[in-house]
Amino acid sequence: MAGHGIKTQLNPTSATTEQFTDGTIGTVKGFFIYHSNITTINTDEDGFGQSTGHCDLSSSSLKCFQSENNVAQGNSYTDNDASTLARTITDASVSVVEEAVYDQLVSNGVQIDWTTGTSTQYASSVAMFAEGIEEYWSDYVAFDATITCGFQADLVIVTSGGTLGESTYADGRHSLCYYDRASDTMRQWLIFCDDQTATGIPDSACISENVNELHGAINLVGNPYNDFAIDTFTGTGFDIDLVANSNISGHVTAIKFAAGYDFEIGFFTAPTSTGETEVISGLGFTPQLLMLSGTSATSLNTPTDDARWFEGGTNGSNQFAMGAVHWQTTSTANTRVAGWHHDDACIYLTDDDGDVVECEATISGVTGGAFGADSVTLDFTTAATAFQIMYLVIGKASSDSGLLLTQSSSGGF
């Protein structure tokens, strides 16, 4: 197997190193690590914390979202840090339970170092970028800013906790954005979870957007604020410019693809009948990696209460889906956070109290596998709600074309 790697496993029970490897993907150029406090893979659990770390192998960074249910109103936190790759924090005290940094490359994978360990085994998934990556850069950035990555990026990935300043905490905010330079196309979603005290006020909101302006955070009713533009690309970088409201911080990954490799970003609407398939077709290249994410939003650009979300992916062989639901109905109790970390699905969303799976998909078992010549097929083993699902597909030109890929409708170089 070549291309890109996906690996999910439980972490060690002490402060030690851990390797994530997958097949014969070759030399990893950069990776994302998705870390949670889920202790049993493929089993939903109450209480949830997650972190999504970016790493370009020369530095590591963290965007950590934390939401717990063991206090009266279920506090939510976000944390940005420039030097930590993965982190689990406690609820009320916001203290570190376990923490990791990048250590070194290994054959067909990477090794990370758990500098702070715990006797509890938590789950992590790693998405490793390898084949067709000419340049890869990640860092923690305070917006607005001029990014100097040393090359002209094709794809920019931004995550933010909605805070300004390193190792600062705020009410839970969680955002993910993909940006395609060639087509000036942006796809993103945002979550807000608050420690509410007033009965009848929703505790969480989300929005999935098909817009060309980066929103670093949203408020409780789902209205975006902290607006930024990704622009002014040069041969050595680009700008993230403040458009409205105040500055925040986040983590940025920039990727330049080698000749003959391409990508596409977009949304699709999940089917509502179990057993249906979703085909992302007409890519113009052979897919090697599919990254997926979504919220409880059923319409683009329209805020939704009772936020749920997931991040997932597949390389056609392995898959993962990590996410949570944040729910609260009264001012005194009834706070519940349910979370999950799966390696048997790449899409997974529950109802608004975490009891019933409403959307689950796996890599397809149809003839030819999940990845076709220029398409990806997903099997929906559970489907009840038409959620908006965001995707990033990365791949290479057909070997018999002899041509470089040209710009597609929503991806290219």
pLDDT in tens, 134-150: 999 999 888 899 999 99
Nearest-angstrom CA–CA distance, 211 and 224 = 12
User: Residues of the chain with pLDDT > 90: what percent?
Assistant: 56
pLDDT at 332: 45
Interval 372-392 mean pLDDT: 95
Strand partners, 151: none
- Percent of the chain scored above 70 by pLDDT? 83
Chain segment 360-379, per-residue pLDDT in tens:
999 987 655 689 999 999 99
Please, which pLDDT band fits residue 59 given cuts at 50, 70 and 90?
confident
| pLDDT the model gives residue 76 | 59
DSSP structural state of residue 22: -
| Structure confidence at residue 92 (pLDDT) | 53
Bond preceding residue 144 cis, omega within 30 of 0: yes
Q: Is the pLDDT of residue 73 over 50?
A: no
pLDDT of residue 406: 31
Distance CA 164, CA 79 (A): 10
pLDDT of 354: 81
What pLDDT sits at residue 193? 76
Task: For residue 397, give Cα distances in angstroms to 114, 128, 133, 285, 409.
Answer: 38, 20, 14, 5, 16
In this predicted structure, what is the pLDDT of residue 330?
46
pLDDT at 282 over 90: yes
- φ, ψ dihedrals at 105, nearest 5°: -75, 145
pLDDT at 408 over 50: no
Confidence of residue 104 (pLDDT cuts 50, 70, 90): very high
Mean pLDDT value across the chain: 85
Would the pLDDT of 15 be above 50? yes
Inter-residue contact 132 to 260 (CB < 8 Å): yes
- CA–chain centroid gap for 62, Å, is 12
pLDDT-derived band at 71 (thresholds 50, 70, 90) equals very low
pLDDT tops 60 at residue 261: yes
**Out of 161-170, 218-227, 318-327, least confident range:** 161-170
Mean pLDDT of 333-352: 83
Taking the model in full, what pTM does it have?
0.92
Q: How far apart are CA 309 and CA 136, in angstroms?
A: 27
